[in-house]
């Protein structure tokens, strides 16, 4: 697979018809465009690699190449893409991050010695173990507790939220995913994104404001 992304992030690549954000590529995949699958996965490869580099234990790094884990994630995503398209209740990049997190946990379990199990437990907590986000848990509770009509409404809200997150620009989407789904603190998110803590806080507030506009039916445009 050949990368088509440029320095402006996963949603800034271009194709024959101009800009191709993730939602456009997902629609092309649904229509049977095999090339769109490659473009979709390559668009998010670097972000997933950055996540793995940031979260991989240094001891494991001496035994496992982060690029191998990234490739495993891409192969698994390619294999499971049909399942995602049938039920896209989370942003696509978050779906990839869940798989990357699970691969990281597996790598730590395989390559750390028994004497360092406590380190493994700390690392699993850092990458989000147990392997469900708040959104996953709420969704599962909703499936059990709600009537069929209410559950259908909940799934529609999940779908709308996932689409709204995909419409954010890359900088805003990253801060939302790090803060809201990976549960990083403002300081941790700032470090991950190479920002000062105040800048990360302002970006998060801006991103959530735009996300709210999108969910309310607005265009999500920024206002100074």
Domain boundaries, the chain: 1-131, 133-224
- Nearby residues of 147 by Cβ (< 8 Å), 6 or more positions away: none
Q: Residue 6's beta-bridge partner residues? A: 9
Q: Is the pTM of this model over 0.75?
A: no
Report the alpha-carbon angle 162-180-221, nearest 5.
60
Digit-coded pLDDT (tens) for 36-62 = 999 999 999 988 998 888 877 777 777
Topology agreement, domain 1-131 and domain 133-224: no
**Per-residue pLDDT, 181:** 72
30 pLDDT higher than 90: yes
1-131 adopts what CATH topology? Rna Polymerase Sigma Factor; Chain: A (1.10.1740)
Most confident of 78-82, 152-156, 165-169: 78-82
Greater confidence, 72 or 145?
72
133-224 adopts what CATH topology? Arc Repressor Mutant, subunit A (1.10.10)
Of the listed ranges 19-33, 137-151, 199-213, the one predicted with least confidence: 137-151
Q: Residue 104 to residues 42, 80, 92, 96, 169: CA-CA distances in angstroms?
A: 20, 18, 19, 12, 27
Greater confidence, 68 or 116?
68
39: its two tokens: 């473009």
Q: Which residue pairs, CB below 8 angstroms and at least 24 apart, start in 120-123?
A: 123/55, 123/57
């Amino acid at each position: 697979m050949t990368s088509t992304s440029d320095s402006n992030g996963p949603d800034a690549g271009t194709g024959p018809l101009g800009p191709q954000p993730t939602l456009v590529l997902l629609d092309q995949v649904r229509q049977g465009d095999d090339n769109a699958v490659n473009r979709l996965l390559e668009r998010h490869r670097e972000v997933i690699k950055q996540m793995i580099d940031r979260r991989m234990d240094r001891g494991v790094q001496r035994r496992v190449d982060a690029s191998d884990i990234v490739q495993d994630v891409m192969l698994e995503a390619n294999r499971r893409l049909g399942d995602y398209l049938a039920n896209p209740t989370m942003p696509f990049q978050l779906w990839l991050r869940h798989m990357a997190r699970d691969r990281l946990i597996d790598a730590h379990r395989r390559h750390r010695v028994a004497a360092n199990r406590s380190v493994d437990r700390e690392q699993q907590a850092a990458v989000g173990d147990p392997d469900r986000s708040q959104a996953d848990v709420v969704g599962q509770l909703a499936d059990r507790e709600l009537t069929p009509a209410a559950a259908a409404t909940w799934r529609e809200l999940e779908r709308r939220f996932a689409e709204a997150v995909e419409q954010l620009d890359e900088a805003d989407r990253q801060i939302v995913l790090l803060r809201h789904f990976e549960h990083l603190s403002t300081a941790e998110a700032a470090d991950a994104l190479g920002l000062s803590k105040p800048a990360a806080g302002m970006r998060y507030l801006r991103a959530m404001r735009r996300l709210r506009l999108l969910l309310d039916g607005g265009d999500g445009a920024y206002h100074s």
